[in-house]
Amino acid sequence: MQQTFITHAPTETEQVGRAFACELRASGKDTALIALRGGLGVGKTAFTRGFASAFGRMHVKSPTYTIVNEYRTDEATVFHFDMYRIEDEEDLLGIGFDDYLRERAFCLVEWSENVEPWLPRERYTVTIERLGTDSPDARRITIREENV
Ligand SMILES: Nc1ncnc2c1ncn2[C@@H]1O[C@H](COP(=O)(O)OP(=O)(O)OP(=O)(O)O)[C@@H](O)[C@H]1O
Ligand SMILES: [Mg+2]
């Protein structure tokens, strides 16, 4: 499965995240690893904010300083990671990543590039790219289901 979207504002990127969450829920899922790819300020947190909003009141803030934020409602659990400062397996074990993966939860991982070797094989990869310089707010979002 691969889907591509073009957005022109943060609210549109949130909407793509929200629609993706609704799709997972509709297919009966309550657990998934979602690896976010894309450089600084491209919209990874915006996507996550929209995703979490599908499950009720979850007010997503960037986990830059905390590395992981947890959101729980009656409908779902969302763990939101920022791996910007994670460099190796030791760092990852240090934050208890394995324990998070064992939970019934959606794990959204910013800077997943940094932890690629330690991610579960079965996952969704969400790649967000800037589109050209004429329209600085335009983004291409590609969602791929993987079993690498
Ligand atoms: N189409 C768009 N989708 C998402 N964000 C957009 C878009 N156009 C402009 N923006 C702006 O880009 C920024 C995206 O911020 P966000 O925190 O979501 O990025 P990020 O990828 O999580 O960054 P970081 O790498 O610092 O964690 C915001 O300032 C937002 O207003
Ligand atoms: Mg972010």
Q: Parallel, antiparallel, or unpaired: how do β-strands 122-130 and 139-147 relate?
A: antiparallel
pLDDT of residue 1: 81
Q: What is the rounded CA–CA span in Å between residue 127 and residue 25?
A: 21
The per-residue pLDDT for range 10-59, each reduced to its tens digit, is 999 999 999 999 999 999 999 999 999 999 999 999 999 999 999 998 89
10 lines ligand 1 (CB under 6 A): yes
Cβ atoms < 10 Å from Cβ of 112: 25
- 80: tokens are 């939101």
Q: How far is the CA of 26 from the centre of ligand 1 (A)?
A: 27
Q: Is 44 in the pocket of ligand 1 (CB under 6 A)?
A: yes
Q: Which ligand is nearest to the CA of 17?
A: 1
Q: Is the CB of residue 110 below 6 angstroms from any atom belonging to ligand 1?
A: yes
pLDDT in tens, 99-147: 999 999 999 999 999 999 999 999 999 999 999 878 999 999 999 999 9
List phi, psi (to 5°) of 11.
Answer: -65, -35
In the chain, how many domains are there? Answer: 1
Query: Measured in angstroms, how far is the CA atom of residue 63 from the centroid of ligand 2?
Result: 7
Whether the CB-CB separation of 142 and 2 falls below 8 Å is answered with yes
Q: Does residue 129 come out as left (phi exceeding 0), alpha (psi in the -120 to 50 range) or beta?
A: beta
Q: What is the pLDDT of residue 35?
A: 98
Domain range for 81 is: 2-147
Instruction: Tell how far the Cα of 82 is from the centroid of ligand 2, in angstroms.
Output: 7
Tokens (6 digits) for 124: 């969704």
pTM above 0.75, yes or no: yes
Quote helix, strand, coil % in the chain, to nearest 5: 30, 30, 40
Q: Which tokens in the block code for residue 48?
A: 């996550």
Q: What is the pLDDT of residue 137?
A: 96
Neighbours of ion ligand 2 (CB under 5 A): 44-45, 62, 110
Asked whether 17 lines ligand 1 (CB < 6 A), one says no
